[in-house]
Structure 1
Amino acid sequence: MKRIHIRVRCLLAACLLSLAGCYGGDDKQSASESSTGAPGGVTMTYWAELNGNAGSVKPTFQEVPFFQEWQKRTGVRLKFIQPPANQAKEALNVLLASGELPDMIEYEWNRFPGGPVKAINDGYILRLNDLIDKHAPHLKAYLKEHPEIDKQLKTDDGSYYVFPFIRGDDLLRTYQGPILRKDWLDELGLPLPETIEDWHTVLKAFKERKGVLAPLTFLGVPNTLFGVEHGGFVGAFGVKKGFYQEDGKVKFGPLEAGYKQFLLTFRQWYAEGLIDRNFATSDAKTLDSSMVTGRSGATIWNAGAGIGKWQPLLTERDAKAQLEPAPYPVLKRGEQPKFGQRSYSYEGTGGVAISRKSLHAEEAVQLLDYGYSPEGHMLFNFGVEGVSYRMEDGQPKYTELITNHPDKLAPAQALAMYTRVSYFGPFVQDLRFMDQFYTLPQQKKAVRIWSDTDADRYMMPQIPMTEKENAEFSSIMNDVTALVDEMSLKLILGMEPPESFEAYNAQIKQLKIDRAIQLQQMALDRSRSR
């Protein structure tokens, strides 16, 4: 294991030092002077992982029209440092260890070991309070108007640390859930599944009567069971893979009996050939392939990047092919799903921090603040007027470049070329994109069905910890998460007997999970008293 880690670190370090491999584009692009007050004539470095929808069309940031336009409008020239796909965490560790930090780093900073306060105190990123106050008038105004979001953005000591991605409406907080091939259900005379037993019947029919190789598939990257950790299937047993709360009491799902029931159910399905045998290594590209080729007939994924991307491709292959959203599974018919995908208004994903080493901190702040300005809001959400959208009756409407791309790009891919609305970034996501992005009736139905859960009741709020608490919590959870992933995988694959669940739980206890639960409880109690 140690040799593998060393080899990966070396490969990543080599990549980060390679201008050809990590810097998107070249030096030929000229930057125009900005008409919005952003700093012109400055060149800065920007570290981020390229979104999969964008990366499936253009391999580097500099080739994506949105990033070209962003630079053109602000007069800032960006050199992008692009880690390998699905390796952002490992690549960031190498980057930080090198001491050669870019001006800006886009990352899930709320998941940084020890928390963002530690990242500030260790000299990696800047505390942004004064900079935002003096040089980010648009973000400052937004947070003043939305104090509930302002509260989510701050650390326990009141520090701002990123320019955040914010979902601008509650309707934008649910976008993921179960998806099936409805044409296969109709052909087999089966109703849309609601219970775990229904799902077993459907998947078995896909396998035995349709000859489907991997009836159910889902993401196993970047970590085991990633595709179902929001509550798909596991939620039917009354638990999640991570932390949740019940009546103000923090719980950790893998310790609960329901998690064992879930693992044993998936163990049976895997043994019967109903689950993708390669689920542990399934990434977005393999998921796309499995669903589009008919290798799989069911999954859990997004309304946009899933249904919206796959349906046109399926129709090209088979005019009768039809995807359909299904409710989150339950054990007994008529039950309300306890869990389901439900994001926060500010989740931590796609936040952009400014490096302590940056010589252009003020310019970086002004560049990032552009996304919250009226003009920047339209660019990030809708692109360029007359190109990717036009105004009709005072409302932005996407052009056929998005809805019916001449090169047959799916709407999710086209949007990723000209906007950032479908995947994070330093801006506020606009609700007006959703009705246009979700052009298919199945997509509109999906949001309604997938939102019909009790997830809000049980999800943990955004609760900052102190640096000391966060460091202790991260240290515990690094080991606990690895052990839970090992336990989950081995039990599903049949590599361990069912009885080993209790032994694993004993090991998890030894890793001080009770202390991690206590730390979460303390933070939860503090957040309620504010």
Structure 2
Amino acid sequence: MSKVNKIGGLATAALLTCLPLAACSNSNGEAQGGAKPEAGQEGAAQTGGAGSKLLVSDKQVEMTIHFHDGDSKVFKDDFPVFKKAQEMTNVKLHGTAPPSATNSREVFNMMLASGNLPDIIAGLKLDLNKAALDGAMEPLDPLIDKYAPHIKQFLQDNTYAKAGSVASDGKLYYIPYIMEGEASEGWYIRQDWLDKLGLPVPKTVDEYYRTLKAFRDQDPNGNGKKDEVPYFSRDNKEGVNKLIPLFGVRPEWHVVNGKVQYGKYLPEYKEAVATLAQWYKEDLIDKEIYTRGAKAREILLGDNVGGATEDWFPSTATYNDTLKDKIGGFQFVPIAPPADKSGKVWQEYSRMLNREKGWGISSTSKHKEEAIKYFDFWFTPEGRRLMNFGIEGVHYDMKDGKPIFKPEVLNGKEPVNKQLWDVGAQLDVGYQMDLFYEEQWTNPIAMKGVKMYIDNKYFAPQFPSVSFMPKEEKVISEKWPAIDSYIREMQQKWIMGAEPVEPNYDKYVKRLKEMGMDEVIKIYQDAYDRYQKNS
């Protein structure tokens, strides 16, 4: 059987099953408005040319690319950013993904099943590495060593990027999309309510509890009604989980002294969820926290009844602008995470720097050398600036050595990131984000919170991006969806008072064991140990 036929046969089977993926939240999608600039202008500093160090080839090279990322993000041959890259590198790309399709993973698997592989394949880590083990992707380490000095240096300087991207065989098959800046979300509170009630900013879990009670009882919105919602969240699934760290519990996957643990399977989770059930009973937590959904922040703040939350820095801070004329003195500001019950101040949720997306080279490509050199271009200062900020003279101007977005970009009708997506910048391919891109359109109140969290190093270590072997993926795909569903079901029952935590917690742990939780933890432990060896 030929390699292409083998790929097609294996990928056809892959169409039938897909592992569940954790959604990646990103404040980039919550930008303030910005104008859509006119395309066609060019910045001389970005232009390549004969003899340029950025050229991939003296003659134009044409390659195909599969890129499909959601309903509207499909590679377009006329993306201005990639046309500019063509001028600088002599590489012209042609997209192959159908723009009418909406299911990216289905489109990816259909591309593999066809056996007609493009030169460059972009997608999720899980899909790229699975395709690699099926023979569809080219190992990149030898190519990087020989042709990609900028990527090689980046991976040497940032070992987590490679360790979190290699397949279970230890080989690197794709160049990852790397974000910058851990601070993505934090704790927010109504400062104007604190001032009205004469309360300090809560610094401990006990003070936070007392503050929520004061919001409930002392009518801080001044309407004479007991309608305040002390704590709320717009995340139906994770809203309550964001309070769990107040009790010293890390809710999800984490590592303690080299041992992988899952927070909601630990004995200490019992106390945390029991206490939060009491908070819910006392009307300190939004009664609709599991159902209100994405509009919760907009509705509760807009109605002047929401008191506190844990949410994204940029988008949450914008309510200080949008509500200032509607609610006199409105101040919704970031605060340090309240110290947990043991007195430790830390932040559980932060930005995942290795986004588990990127692009690689198909094993059937006849342009492997040119493709890896092209990937390397995006890790040069010129390439990185192009992907992060767009085209000089169109989207930004260089001032004091920095790319500064034009006023029409920052202040127009479309969000800055949407404008950049529309021209081919900030795509989820293999490059490194520049945090300065985001800082320019982030509200000053949010930036104050970001700086506070970074300067004080509040962030708990994230569980790394690990890779599973095929047999491990099979076990996880069979067992984890039911386990995760059961964990969420029981938490909601306990919080809402449908059944007490005691004496049912031991039954909960026993049921998780029966469902295969220990086996799943063992798989995560093995994957983590492999990650450590690659670091």
Query: Normalised by the size of structure 1, how large is the TM-score?
Result: 0.72
Counterparts of 1:394-473 in structure 2 under 5 Å? 394-403=401-410, 405-407=411-413, 425-433=429-437, 435-449=439-453, 452=456, 455-456=459-460, 459-473=462-476
1:69 and 2:81 matched: yes
CA distance in 2, matches of 1:365, 1:427: 13
CA distance in 2, matches of 1:373, 1:296: 46
CA distance in 2, matches of 1:329, 1:139: 40
Unmatched 5+ stretches in structure 2: 1-15, 17-38, 87-91
1:157 and 2:163 matched: no
TM-aligned CA deviation for residue 302 of structure 1 = 1.9
Call closer, same or farther: CA 1:272–1:124 in 2, change over 3 Å.
Answer: farther
Counterparts of 1:183-332 in structure 2 under 5 Å? 183-208=192-217, 209=219, 210=221, 212=227, 214-220=229-235, 224-225=237-238, 227=239, 232-281=242-291, 284=294, 287-288=297-298, 290-291=300-301, 294=304, 296-307=306-317, 309-318=318-327, 320-332=329-341
CA contact (8 A) 2:395 2:406 kept: yes
TM-aligned CA deviation for residue 287 of structure 1 = 4.2
Q: Give 3-state SS (helix, strand or coil) of 1:372's partner.
A: coil
The letter for the 1-side match of 2:407 is E
Q: Give 3-state SS (helix, strand or coil) of 1:164's partner.
A: strand
TM-aligned CA deviation for residue 425 of structure 1 = 4.4
Find the partner of 1:92 among 83, 93, 105: 105
The letter for the 2-side match of 1:193 is P
Q: Give 3-state SS (helix, strand or coil) of 1:460's partner.
A: coil
The letter for the 2-side match of 1:249 is K
Call closer, same or farther: CA 1:322–1:401 in 2, change over 3 Å.
Answer: farther
CA contact (8 A) 2:203 2:337 kept: yes
Call closer, same or farther: CA 1:449–1:150 in 2, change over 3 Å.
Answer: closer
Matched residues, number: 470
Q: Give 3-state SS (helix, strand or coil) of 2:280's partner.
A: helix
Between the aligned residues of both structures, percent identity stands at 26
CA contact (8 A) 1:43 1:77 kept: yes
TM-aligned CA deviation for residue 239 of structure 1 = 1.6
Q: Give 3-state SS (helix, strand or coil) of 1:154's partner.
A: coil
CA distance in 2, matches of 1:357, 1:283: 45
TM-aligned CA deviation for residue 146 of structure 1 = 4.1
CA contact (8 A) 2:234 2:289 kept: yes
TM-aligned CA deviation for residue 183 of structure 1 = 2.0
The letter for the 2-side match of 1:160 is L
Q: Give 3-state SS (helix, strand or coil) of 1:47's partner.
A: coil
Q: Give 3-state SS (helix, strand or coil) of 1:496's partner.
A: coil
1:109 and 2:125 matched: yes
Unmatched 5+ stretches in structure 1: 1-8, 10-28, 51-59
Greater mean deviation of Cα atoms: 322-331 or 338-347: 338-347
CA contact (8 A) 2:140 2:173 kept: yes
Counterpart residue number, 2:23: none
The structure that is helix-richer by fraction is 1
Counterpart residue number, 1:483: 486
TM-aligned CA deviation for residue 253 of structure 1 = 0.8
TM-aligned CA deviation for residue 346 of structure 1 = 2.2
CA distance in 2, matches of 1:418, 1:246: 44
CA contact (8 A) 1:61 1:80 kept: no
What CA deviation, in whole Å up to 9, does each residue of 1:420-473 have, x standing for no partner? Answer: 66x8643212244465344504422344236646644x5434444444344434
Find the partner of 2:392 among 357, 367, 385: 385
What CA deviation, in whole Å up to 9, does each residue of 1:304-332 have, x standing for no partner? Answer: 2332x433323354463222112223344
The letter for the 1-side match of 2:408 is L
Call closer, same or farther: CA 1:461–1:176 in 2, change over 3 Å.
Answer: same
CA contact (8 A) 2:182 2:454 kept: no
The letter for the 1-side match of 2:500 is P
1:178 and 2:187 matched: yes
Call closer, same or farther: CA 1:181–1:379 in 2, change over 3 Å.
Answer: farther
Call closer, same or farther: CA 1:366–1:67 in 2, change over 3 Å.
Answer: farther
Call closer, same or farther: CA 1:517–1:451 in 2, change over 3 Å.
Answer: farther
Call closer, same or farther: CA 1:188–1:119 in 2, change over 3 Å.
Answer: farther
Query: More relative contact order in 1 or in 2 (CA 8 Å, sep 6+)?
Result: 2
Larger radius of gyration: 2
